[in-house]
Amino acid sequence: MPAKTLMVQGTTSDAGKTTLVAALCRIYARQGLHVAPFKPQNMALNSAVTQDGGEIGRAQAVQAHAANVPLSVDFNPILLKPQSDKNAQVIIHGQVFESMNADQYHDYKKIAFNAVMDSHTRLEKNYTRIVVEGAGSPAEINLREGDIANMGFAEAADCPVILIADIDKGGVFAHLVGTLALLSESEQQRVIGFVINRFRGDLSLLEPGLQWLENYTNKPVLGVLPYIHGLHIAAEDAVDNVQNIANTQLKVIVPVTPRMSNHNDFDALRVHPEIDLTFVYASEVVNSPLPAADLIILAGSKNTREDLAFIKAQGWDQQINTHLRYGGKVFGICGGFQMLGQHINDPLGLEGKAGISEGLGLLPITTILQPRKTLANRQAILHLAGLNKTIKGYEIHLGETTYLADLPPLMTIEGNAQGIISDDQQIAGGYLHGIWDSKNAIEQLASWCQVTISAATSLEDIQEHAIERLADTCEQYLALDKIENALTHWRQHHE
């Protein structure tokens, strides 16, 4: 039997690790293998909820979709969610452990590594192939000691590694050769070959470089993947503002805050050809105007009170009020929903310094942060625009919100009201993430904003199409036989 575990590491962040792992998961699933994605340690503010109420990185949820397997906390045993430049919430096996700074977590890594290996052991027992995604680059010298995300894991699990680099950014040969040179001898031997990602142009012009690379390193190039235009795969953390708008009917802006989380909430809106959604970044000039829009959406946050203070410091709170006076709509998701209220109280300092912050005062709610995090997949009835359509989503939040007035609920979940809509129908908010992934919800949102758009496509269908397209491309351009032979050879020499 070939080796169960294959790891993909990158020369840089955003080299293509996530998408290559997703492609391999789908390819192996097509071959009839029971395949699991795995990322030992992930630092990201985009996450998903497993069926058993745990939390993992959004990228591993996409990879599980590609593998046609249900989500498991073992796919991402350690998730780090930054709360500030120095602190992060540490999530182990899907549940919040505690917040730590870099020094504290470095000391804790040995214990965290046990959680990583426990998960990998369980996956080995239950799956026939495990495809592992590294984090960042394995050649970060300052992070080598106690590494559990890249070669530290590969050495402990004794698995082979594919190294991927992005040629679109330039310097691909330097990235590959330099990364390899900074690895130890045993780690270098673990690399079974290279993949070059996002190539544009005539491959024959690249051939001399490929031959040199193979001769210089004595390792094969396992594939050169072309640049795939219009590929809609949920991003691990990067915010992408590129859109292809055919005919704008609905203009949406999302103010970007330092700890904005789950920005993948907006993916389904961004791919609709008639919805122009723009992420708006802070200007160097305070009170510089937000662009004109039909709708402002306040996103979730990993540090709600700090992000609320950021919004006020930019003068965005005043501009939101102006937007409302001119008839615009405002919607809040999770932390953004909490910001719309009267107060946010964090008595235990769960997201930073303990204290109370005055909200934007736009909804009659008040929120207190509690240690127990709500993690659940939900089916709901959405009541926007007087319609009652079934949608799906998920909750990830610490806050417990009290409603100070009897206003219409945004949605009903298992017979219970959640969220709120203002009397004047201009402001709404609730805790459900992924709300726009359902095409029903997008159509209701457009009706609420008093515009008409063409029928939406569900994000799940869009993502499935992207995964199939990605897997087809990799089947064509990857030397899958060489990878399989390398795995078989690895198993024979490491038993």
The residues that are catalytic are 334, 433
> How far apart are the C-alpha atoms of 402 and 64, rounded to whole Å?
36
Are 410 and 430 spatial neighbours (Cβ–Cβ below 8 Å)?
yes
The 3-state secondary structure of the chain, one letter per residue: CCCCEEEEEECCCCCCHHHHHHHHHHHHHHCCCCEEEECCEEECCCEEECCCCCEEEHHHHHHHHHHCCCCCHHHCCEEEEECCCCEEEEEECCEEEEEEEHHHHHHHHHHHHHHHHHHHHHHHHHCCEEEEECCCCCCCHHHCCCCCCCHHHHHHHCCCEEEEEEHHHCCHHHHHHHHHHCCCHHHHHHEEEEEEEEECCCHHHCHHHHHHHHHHHCCCEEEEEECCCCCCCCCCCCCCCCCCCCCCCEEEEEECCCCEECHHHHHHHHCCCCEEEEEECCCCCCCCCCCCCCEEEECEECCHHHHHHHHHHCCHHHHHHHHHHCCCEEEEECHHHHHCCCEEEECCCCCCCCEEEECCCCCCEEEEEEEEEEEEEEEEEECHHHCCEEEEEEEEEEEEEEECCCCCCCEEECCEEECEECCCCCEEEECCECHHHCHHHHHHHHHHCCCCCCCCCCHHHHHHHHHHHHHHHHHHHECHHHHHHHHHHHHHHCC
The strand order across the sheet containing 250-255 reads 275-280, 250-255, 295-298, 329-333, 427-430, 420-421
Strand partners, 199: 226
Are 37 and 133 spatial neighbours (Cβ–Cβ below 8 Å)?
yes
> How far apart are the C-alpha atoms of 439 and 444, rounded to whole Å?
9
Query: Which residue type is seen at 392?
Result: K
Query: Which residue type is seen at 184?
Result: S
Following CA atoms 309, 310, 314, 315 in sequence, which dihedral angle do they give, to the nearest 10 degrees?
Answer: -30
